[in-house]
Amino acid sequence: MNKTFRRHKVLQPHHFGLFVLICLICMTSPIQAETKNTPRNVILLIGDGMGLGAIEIARQMEYGKTGILHLEKLEHVALMRTYSANNYVTDSAAGGSAIATGIKTNNESIGVDANGSEVDSILDAFQAKGKKVGIISTNMVVDATPAAFGASVSNRWTGGANIARQLFDNRIDVILGGGSSYFEADKQNGENLIAKFKNAGYGIATTKKELSSVNKPDKLLGLFHPTYMNFKLDKEVLHSQEPSLPEMTSKAIDILSQGDKGFFLMSEGARIDSMEHAADITGIWKETIEFDQTVKEVVNWAKNRNDTLVVVLADHETMGISASETMDIAALKKIRVSSQYMSKQLTFDKNNEINPESVVTVFKKYAQISLTDHEVQQFIDNVRKNRTLVYPKHRIEWEIGSTIAKHYKAGVADRSIRAASSTGGHTANMIPIFASGPGSEAFDGVIENTDVAKIITKAAGVPFTPGQHIKVK
């Protein structure tokens, strides 16, 4: 007993320095660890509709069977379920909202819960923390995914003008993409919303050149198309003056990183999904590679900083895209324009019926396919009968894409499944998540899409309670 007592009670003078050192280590280590593992910045990259099939098609067509995409190099990987509150297959509105807000909602709803009540997003939470925030999309900035982070509307199809106004009212620091028509006077009750942005101190860009030459303003609005931005495949033939997704993302980072408290940026490669709806395999390849180049730019910017969490994922999968063994990669790589561009080259008779001769010409010229008379008539009949539940104006390009995919034996859901689908062909397939940087280790195993917001805000030390509504949108 006396021996034990002496060992714990007696502290010799020469032990004192070591004792102090141990105490200092114990006191400081948790703080240092917390600082090291707490990201100052978060960059969330969303490839709309980008499932494993699209990723594999892009890898095969760009680099061959032994190639590696940049997103595949990120340290941590997880799988994500995507169902919505009212459907086991989500649309982009509910899928984007689940990622942004941490709660499930109904298809077609943006930034609201399943009862229609407004809820805050992680963008709101980062902004409340004093961080700069930005959204980017190669669709419209008022479309489902970007809107889920910056606005709340009960229905995606009727809320475009309202979303544009909310983006202004919320003073989001950087907004880049398409959809300028929703900011103009005819959709804003006679008020020019772009002028309001300018008067509020935003830099304004409408072309690639203007974006690259704009100085570093505190805030930036770049709107490069009245509606959706052009497909990567069509930019050359259309002489497009639009910036690419990597260019928009790099500019956004330049501006947002000027702040002293860090930033949150969501950048969406939105046209992957559009190409998938159309079963346009060549377009899927090109759009996914542009998205992957964005991943490369972001990772290169972040890799030497140790203060930025990078997360790469999709909101859902579309059309069950797969890299089938039978797919004629060589033939598909020869196609130089999108199925949408091809659809605009067709001609119509006085009854608004497609001219059969134009069908023959378009498929031969752009897809190197010689259709038989029966195939031409089948194509026209399919377009006539196939009204689809959503996006009816795209039914011609969708039929072109499906015809080409069938001819070149690509893996994709049948056109009849797409036509009967309330989402235009989305599936419930799980989505891969790739992550790197401080906090990325939490992306592990199989998770829900609602977990993404929780993981990101917890890693960044940003207060966030899914389902609450504090900030007025």
Specify whether 109 is catalytic. Answer: no
With a cut of 60, say whether residue 268 has pLDDT above it. Answer: yes
Residue 460 pLDDT exceeds 90? yes
Confidence label for 472 from pLDDT (cuts 50, 70 and 90) = low
What is the pLDDT averaged over residues 52-64? 98
Q: Where are the domains of the chain?
A: 40-323+426-460, 329-408
CATH code of the region 40-323+426-460? 3.40.720.10
Distance, CA of 242 to CA of 151 (rounded, Å): 25
Q: What is the DSSP string of 69-125?
A: -SGGGSSEEEEEE---SS-SS--HHHHHHHHHHSS---TT-BSB-TTS-B---HHHH
> What is the pTM (predicted TM-score) of this model?
0.92
**What pLDDT is attached to residue 216?**
86
- Helices and strands (DSSP H and E) totals, the chain: 19, 12
Q: Is the pLDDT higher at 21 or at 411?
A: 411
Specify the DSSP element, H or E, that contains 436: strand 431-436
Closest by CA position to 181, among listed 167, 171, 194? 194
Q: Which of 84, 92, 240, 343 is catalytic?
A: 92
**Three-state secondary structure call for residue 203:** strand
Res. 173 pLDDT band, cuts 50 70 90: very high
Of the chain, the percentage scoring pLDDT greater than 90 comes to 88
Mean pLDDT over residues 81-107, rounded? 98
Query: Which has the higher per-residue pLDDT, 104 or 15?
Result: 104
As a whole number, mean pLDDT of residues 420-447 equals 97
Two structure tokens written together for 162: 């309202």
